[in-house]
Every structure is written in structure tokens, then in C-alpha cells.
Amino acid sequence: MRKLLELDSIDWSILKLLQGDATLSMQAIADRVGLSVNPCWRRIKRMEESGVIARRVALLDPEKVGAGTSVFVTVKTRRHDAEWLTAFEQAVDAIEEIVECHRMAGDIDYLLKIRVGDIAGYDRIYQRLIRRVPDLADVTASFSMEEMKATTELPRPD
């Protein structure tokens, strides 16, 4: 098991700032956490090298780029072998509208989150998925009516 990097309250303050706005200057971050620039930079570098900071990205407004409809899709399969899993992984990777894929415990095998412009957009994705992946027992879609909370910020554990 990989050892977790020990993070103190200043590290968590830096992470909170970066999760809210990764474009903040080093000086702005340092000022807000009460450090000078060099120690702040070293902390961020340490967290990047350890993988705590996996990457920095720009978050797009889904509505403004034509992907305002969220679809949650449950998938059940008849097969659970390596060959099927490879085909499924390749299909999921090839469909950029699938923004998340989770292997689940319980009654369903996989949960997909898909971002499209409308229901017709989902149907095109559905058709591509069922053509590429054999032996699907059930594919069920649920459309989000309203996004009540969405964040990419991870909380500080207790």
C-alpha cells in the first residue's frame, strides 16, 4: 500500500485555493496562506511530485459548449471475462461524451456519466455503445432534471 503524503493545515489551505482557482499566482497563494513565495512553491511542487495534485485543468460551462444534459447510465453485462472488459474499456474510452465510468458493487455492473446536448445526442451515444460492446444485459438511462450540486473540490478528511 502506498503511503499517503502527510498534509498540514497550510497544505490544505493551498489545496483549497488551487481547487477553487488554479490560475492564482504563486504570490497570491503565498499571501493568502501566510508564506513567502519560495516555501509555498516548494509545498506545491512536493504535492505535484507525490501525485496529490494530479493535474491542473480548466473547467468548462457545459451549457455554453452544448453539453448541458447529464445522463446517468447503468450497465449490466452477461459476461465478466477479460476479453469483454477490454472491449468495454475501449468503447468507453472512444466515446468522449462518456465523462465518467465506474465499476460498481451491487445490482449494476457499471455506472456511466454522459454529457450531451439533448436526448437525441444521448441516443447517438447509446447506439455507438451497444454496437461496440457485446453481451450487454441491460442499459438504462436516467436524465438529470436539475444539477443541484456539482463540485470538483475534494474535502479535507477529518
Which residues partner with 71 through β-bridges? 114, 143
Residues 136 and 67 in one domain: yes
Q: Are strands 110-116 and 136-143 parallel, antiparallel or unpaired?
A: unpaired
Residues 120 and 92 in one domain: yes
CATH number at residue 33: 1.10.10.10
pLDDT digits (tens, 9 = 90+) for 105-138: 999 999 999 999 999 999 999 999 999 999 999 9
107, 61 in Cβ contact below 8 A?
A: no
- The whole-number average pLDDT for the span 28-43 is 98
Which segments of 7-114 does DSSP mark as H helices, in order? Answer: 9-20, 26-33, 37-50, 82-94
Residues 68 and 105 in one domain: yes
- Kindly state whether residue 133 falls inside one of the protein's structural domains: yes
Cell of 23: 490560475
- The whole-number average pLDDT for the span 131-157 is 95
**The total number of structural domains that make up the chain:** 2
CATH number at residue 127: 3.30.70.920
pLDDT digits (tens, 9 = 90+) for 74-103: 999 999 999 999 999 999 999 999 999 999
Residues 26 and 79 in one domain: no
CA angle (123, 70, 100) in 5-degree steps: 95
Residues 137 and 68 in one domain: yes
Look over the chain and give the mean of its residue pLDDT values, rounded to a whole number: 96
> CB neighbours (10 Å) of residue 114?
24
Residues 16 and 86 in one domain: no
- Kindly state whether residue 148 falls inside one of the protein's structural domains: no
Residues 100 and 135 in one domain: yes
Q: Which domain holds residue 14?
A: 9-50
Phi-psi region at 106: left, alpha or beta (left = phi > 0; alpha = psi -120 to 50) = left
